[in-house]
Amino acid sequence: MAKPNIPGAKNKTNKKQQTQSAKEEPKGLPNEQDEVFEEDFTDEDGSGGFKLASEGFHPAKVIDFEKSYSKTGNPTYVWQFLITAGDSEGVELRFWTSLLPQARWKTVETLEAVGIEAAGSMARFKRSDVVGSPCVLEVIHDEYEGRTNHKVERVHPADEEAMAAIGDEDVPF
């Protein structure tokens, strides 16, 4: 025997059953009010156009540089590099160096790699002193959320020793 529908009384009908019966069409199928979208994604590999730099040493130049703050509010320099030759030519990489006391050595190392004297001194320089500077990037790969990413491990000066590591003495800077 069916229970009467009493106003104000709790109906023990399963909410899932109510939701399914309220739906007229399965999700994703167009109805009269829906606009149909069609795009050709056959050439898209899902990488977002992101080209992965190969691991190793790459000639590069600084294309952007700024002082910023990390998510936790710590001062940092943000470096943008462009690989200028080789199999990864045209790939851009971002690199952060902290200005916290325990990590300043990495900032000094990177500044000196692009020609700014910093070790043991009060370094004073302009953005234009950094942007355009040649260097050699040491790139490694790491995994994040199941994807392989490139990462700048270290920035080296664009000198003969670094060019030898690349294996090309004729890299254009």
Domain boundaries in the chain?
56-166
Distance, CA of 23 to CA of 64 (rounded, Å): 53
What is the pTM for the complete model shown?
A: 0.68
pLDDT for res 147? 87
DSSP assigned state of 155: E
Residue 127 CB burial class (10 angstroms; 0-12, 13-18, ≥19): exposed
Residue range 56-166, CATH number: 2.40.50
Mean pLDDT by 10 residues, the chain (173 residues): 56 51 56 72 64 93 96 97 95 96 96 94 94 96 90 92 65 47
Share in percent of the chain as helix, strand, coil (round to 5): 20, 30, 50
pLDDT for res 173? 44
Supply 143's token pair: 């995994």
pLDDT for res 172? 47
